[in-house]
Chains A and B, each alone.
Chain A
């Protein structure tokens, strides 16, 4: 039987990638971020997940505006490392879970009426890989968990609403519970928190909003799911709208799930948040 054992909300700031690849994680400017993940990795070692469902967005590595899906689920045996314009990072391919992916696709489309785009070829990039780097450090031979990418359109409006993302999480919870195979699953909601990367407002952050969002995510996600894209973008920057993906993670956990870790660090242009929930 499938079971969601944990949920993680976390930012996927691209500069983390090269910091990991070049062994700079203990530099003073980066250490506070990486230190926050030490207890998270200890917790994950106890949870022993088999699979991570990573809710993320592509940044023009493998999806373009010629055709842009609202929700796209990976249904492949493995996922290549994408080149998003800066070269391909030296990381092992990501092992998928074709059985669970297929079950999710069928359950989400038939039972829960989410009309997903299904991807048999998908290259993953920083939106997916930075969270994996932080939570599941790889070895040369591979990653310690299988992973399933779930790509969400958070960059070309109209985007799915926050509530739709939350409901997708609810559906994932039910679908995983109905899985006949054995799988301990962690769901990761990635992106955000406050940031804006264009215009005169480039570099805008709002810690007060970010802390409020974390509070609400913890205590009243159903109410938080009513937040509009307009409110997020006005208060936290246009690119902060990625935060709707954290609601998919939260929706996959019980409403009264216990919060385990929480951290916030905003050194440059992005409020980097971290929150975990016990399944």
Chain B
């Protein structure tokens, strides 16, 4: 059994003329980072909401097909009950994910564990560990409502990390973070994967995802256009032709090839800086 399984998934928003997702079938295993890549409107956010059981429940629209997370259907009340504390869905708008009832950041991070009725000493340890990993221990006594955008994003990340969820659904979840924060999130994803979590992550930054993703699913207007090795996708033109583009280095290669027609700039493109330096020296 895969951690996340989608079969024949169709989704259409109310009053929309086309499907946001059309016949999407794939799965994410425990211990794997699967990257969802696509141009705006390709369906990545919708897919994550559906996998979290949030669409159509909070978005409206109609869904068809099968959704299973850890064997349960997050669209049903029974499934959600069994999955409580198991799925971390994190979007790009941290204000939507703050509890609104916590007086300080400590309580905010403790909100999930407390609702699962963990013993106090376990909550305390989990909060401190999560805060330490996001490097926000100095914020624990501050009000979550009076933090900067990037600090709030770190807090909501920590509040999910404290639960130790086996399934992560991340939607541009590091968009407000500074360079250091992005590095922390990349390390976290790798660490959580290595301890067996299944991570499905929608991200536009191909340069960052190249070093993190085990597998990529390219979405093009609700349909899977490619599924496989990120290096294979990013060293060719498909993702440029189907919307989102690719790494900055491949972009340089494409432009240089278009201008010079020189074979050294032709695909397969180098993907990282040192590969490009070796090939284009």
Q: Do A and B bind each other?
A: no
Chain B interface (Cβ within 8 Å of chain A)?
A: none
Chain A interface (Cβ within 8 Å of chain B)?
A: none
